Chains A and B, each alone.
Chain A
Amino acid sequence: MTTSRSLVDNLPQPIAVVTESGGVDYKNGAFDETFGTDAIQWLKEAARAVAGERGWLHGFFVEGDDLQTIDVEIEGRVYRVDRILRVTEDDVPKVALSFEDVTREREAEQAKSDFTAQIVHDLRGPLSGIQGTLEFILSADTKLDTMYADLLQEAQRESERMMNLINEILDFSKIKSGNFIVEQEPVRVAGVLKRAVRSLQQVAARDEVFLISAHGRDVPQIIGSVEKLTQAVINLISNSLKFTPQKGLVSVGAQIERKGDAPEAIVITVTDSGMGIKADELQSIFEKYKQSGTKSLRGGAGTGLGLYIVKQVVEAHGGEVSVASVEGVGTSMVLRLPVRRAA
């Protein structure tokens, strides 16, 4: 025991055992060296509730909670705080925490994210111009030679694909940098689905796929982000369209789950009559950089981030995602969003 203690005493990483009220039960030499006597003060602050919000220290004490690690700003630097151990001594719960200075890593990540956002923004501008021009030429009342019309349609398809890739990279960089903030506004889910379906109706018609709504107007509101949910549904529909053959069907539905009379959740489904996903790929389909082994019928490979982003959006709304698929028959993406009332 003494040897172990002396080992921890001499570890180069700051370690402390603290109580829920921020009291320090033990600290090693590196902790003293890094934080000095000021630690007593900020640990107390980390334990205190401000305006009803509990301090970050509280999260490590919640039974069954998964909080193992958190980034915290201490005296102008960013530390990654890891919970090593949770124990109860004399009925007093305590946690052993280690601290690692990650200021430089986080600054580098932020710089990378800012750079990505800037590049993406610079790429989107001219690409929107190209898309607008192509749309104008194709919809204008001009008699195009069939070969040129086909080539322009191909260019339009590829520009759409490029725009999707750019948007996915932007969303992913936001998720990675922690800047993925979900607004808290009332969302008319029926409106979200209608907008998403309308925005892809032309693509579906061009690919000769039926795209049909399968929901009424009486879908309740939820609290969240109209923009992010619309983008998530658009991602799912455009994925479905890519894997659905001509004369196939993509349907977009919403069902209400009730508890008594009150709506509890909305279940959104985007279902296609495509080629389906292999059973062994279903479990990992929402992981980043994962792509179905099934080859898309239109356009090349994507970033493998689309479904990962959809999952992040849904989870940021307190919801969950699932997938169903039968090879050769079709696939259905299922999003369950809780109905939360505005505070």
Chain B
Amino acid sequence: MSEWNQSSVDEVPTMGSESQKADETLATGIVLPDGEIPGDDYDETLYEKPENQWLEMWRSLRANRAALVSLIFIILLVLVAVAGPYITPYNPIETEMSNALKPPSAEHWFGTDQLGMDIFSRVIAGTRVSLTVGLLAVSIALTTGIVLGAIAGYAGGWVDTIIMRVMDMMLAIPSILLAITLMAALGKGIDKAVIAIGLVSIPEYARIVRGNILSIKENDYIAAAHVVGLSDARIIFRHVLPNALSVIIVRATLGISSAILDTAALGFLGLGVQPPQPEWGDMLGRARGFIFQAPHTLLYPGMAITATVLAFNLLGDGLRDALDPRARIK
């Protein structure tokens, strides 16, 4: 999932299962295969006051027009998702067989599908499903991943080894395959899809946090904090995590776009929502039979997915550029 994340050269990806890079980088940009950053004993960003960092980010984001447009688009989508049932011109699950497969017209902007349901309404209603699943799945993955990664990184030893092995096991299976298999075992339904997609994304966030912690665990700043008497937990939450936060935010944004694509894939295969609930992927799956006599059934849900994913990708890209100290210098 989210190999999209690796497209910046700042983050030199290393191969193999031990390979995810933590995002604090050095001039050499090298990350050892088990996550340690060699020689990284000085992290300048820790000295910046948090407010400045966010302000910098906002300013840089604003300058990136594409990202800004995406942000606005996403806000719009969220509004649509929230407003959902109130703004659909027709009931998205009401069938009307005599009206089936009508092309776009004034009454039905996107046309109707094979059961006579209005596609425009279904696309709007589907926004809610896609965004909810995306956000929920990423939240699950995020919180679980952060906790696991923090424990692994900080505790070290066999706790670390066990947790990371489990992460490896999950990464050993391609995410869509694992998600589909989970769905086959758990049964169909959108709630199970959330769990499946969330689960398969956990290793990513665990890795980031663990890598972060590992890289600064040994450094003087932390040692000093120990001497002064700060508890471990405080150190983690006050100093280590905020650092990783910027990376996590970027990853999470891109993770949402992956989650939306995966949800659509599951829906397309018939493993997601149960009919007649609207979901973009499911709509595409059921439109497969009509690609010639009613291409509109295929067009709009697909465009909706692409546009949404595009927006999140652009935003994530913009955020990464904004939060990366080196990119700012460029």
A is bound by B: no
